[in-house]
Structure formats: structure tokens, C-alpha cells
Amino acid sequence: MVIQWLQTDVKHPVQKWLANQPTFKVLFSLIMTTPTPSTTSRKSFSIWSGLTWLIIAGVIAATVFTMWSPANLFTASDSSNKPYDPSAGFPADWPTPTTSPRPRIGIVAGHWGNDSGAVCDDTGLTEVEVNLRIATIVQQNLMTAGYDVDLLEEFDERRYLYDALALVSIHNDSCDYINDQATGFKVAASFAAGDTGPSSPNARLQACLVDRYSKATNLPYHPGSITNDMKEYHTFSEINPRTPAAIIETGFLRLDREFLTQHPDLAAKGISDGILCFIQNEPVSTGPTVTP
């Protein structure tokens, strides 16, 4: 029946459309010249017609399929199949990008949260209040420079395996009168992880603190009074070994008291600049004025 329908005059719209397809013209002409099977050739014709119609079906399916573009194969309401349009902005259902955390620095206010530290009997001034005031300004300076800064207590629970670009603990020396040379600052670096070379991170942190603090405060460097308590400061062995660390005593509470209480911003600047010097790998001078 189908063969007879196709072999009639091309009048039906579908016949016309198929007849106009370039690929189908050859097959259509083949059908038009195919004789009606006789009884004697029915078996051979059945095989021939089956192959013919298999080919025709494949060609028709491929031709019809190419009439639709990929965009028409899906419903327009399915937004997941639409290309992203930059001019439309981010879709409302897109997740908000998570920014990476900023580099972190740790500042310990010596004795804070534990005890008073050194005490000046004549005025009642305590080391911890001087330490905390300077440490707070250091924190503000470094945050302004674009860093996240943790202000830590002496035995802060966060100190264990603390991981940061650097950690500096701020302290001060005795309020007792020792001699006229008991003035100035001192810095000791952490070598808890065996990092003792002159170009090691801990050594560079120490050098930067010494250089920048000396320039900001004009106080002399007093390495001769660095104690074992500074060299073996407990926090050095508690933080992450990869974190460069140092302890600084910003002055003597006796002879340097006026400077420490009246100009804590300068002391804080020296420490902040020293930390930034280390982080940014800045050069240091040959050395500050040294007091024996």
C-alpha cells in the first residue's frame, strides 16, 4: 500500500516535501522505477524491498531531524539549557563566591589574661597594661595594612599549633633601677624548630624588628640583657613550627617609662614596621645603636 501511495502522482503535501529533499530524490526515483512484484519473484522482491525501505526510513528520519536546531529540541522554559548571558548579570540562584581568607598575624600582649608582669611600686604601673596598649595599636596598624590579626593572651588557647605569617609577643623589662645603661629594647627569635641560620625566617624576623624598632623609637638595642626566659619563651614551642616567631621587650619600665607611656604609638609603629619588613622581605640596615 505504501509503495503504491509513493508510486502515484506526487500530489500529497508530504509526497511533495519528500520529493524535494536532495537526499530523497535518488531513493524516490528508485521507488518509482521499482516494478510491482510478481508471484515468481515475490521472495527476492521481499528481501529487496525490505532493504530499500530500511534505507528510506533512515534517510527520512535523518532529514526530519535536521529540520530542528539544538535550541528547539528543548523547552524554552528550561533555563538550565540556556547559554549564560554576561549582560544579564549572575543568576539569582548561583552560589555566592567565597573569598579566600586574608593572611594572618598573631600578636601576644605579654602577661595579658594571666598576671600583671612587672609592677612599678612608685606609681602602680603594670607591665601588662603597657604591653596591651602597644599590642592593640600594633593590631590596628597591621589590620589597616590589610592583614587579619589575632590579639592573643599570654596563655591563649589558640596558641597551640598556631599557624600564621608571623607571631610577635610584646613585653617590657623591669621597673626596678638597675643602672644608667638599663634603657633600650631587645628581641629574641624562636629557634624551637632548629631554624638557626642567619637567613632563616626567624632570624630575618628578628633582624627586621631590631632595625625598624630602632628607627621608629631611637631607643638603643640592648642585646646583652636578653635572658634565657626570652630565648626559651614558652610560646615558641607551642605554636606551629612553620610560624616564624619572636619576643620583644620594648623598653625598661624605669628609665624608658616616659617614652612607653607617652608614645606607645611609636613603639607600636616600630613593631608593625618590623613585621611588615619581614613579611614583605624588605632590606634592613647594617645594625642599630647597641647598648652593652
Give the model's pLDDT for residue 286: 67
- Average pLDDT over all residues of the chain: 80
pLDDT higher than 60, residue 35: no
Of 116 and 24, which is predicted with more confidence? 116
Of 150 and 60, which is predicted with more confidence? 150
pLDDT per position as a tens digit, 3-25: 454 455 555 555 555 556 555 55
Q: What secondary structure, in 3-state letters, does the chain show? A: CHHHHHHCCCCCHHHHHHHCCHHHHHHHHHHHCCCCCCCCCHHHHHHHHHHHHHHHHHHHHHHHHCCCCHHHHCCCCCHHHCCCCHHHCCCCCCCCCCCCCCCEEEEEECCCCCCCCCECCCCCCEHHHHHHHHHHHHHHHHHHCCCEEEEECCCCHHHCCCCCCEEEEEEEECCCCCCCCCCCEEEEECCCCCCCCCCCHHHHHHHHHHHHHHHHHCCCECHHHCCHHHHCCHHHHCCCCCCCEEEEEEEECCCCHHHHHHCHHHHHHHHHHHHHHHHCCCCCCCCCCECC
Mean pLDDT of 200-215: 96
Give the model's pLDDT for residue 199: 79
pLDDT higher than 50, residue 174: yes
Domain 104-279 fold is Aminopeptidase (3.40.630)
Mean pLDDT of 153-171: 97
Domain-wise residue ranges, the chain = 2-36+44-73, 104-279
pTM for the complete prediction? 0.66
pLDDT per position as a tens digit, 247-259: 999 999 999 999 9
Q: Across 62-76, 186-200, 257-271, which has the greatest mean pLDDT? A: 257-271
pLDDT higher than 70, residue 179: yes
pLDDT higher than 50, residue 56: yes
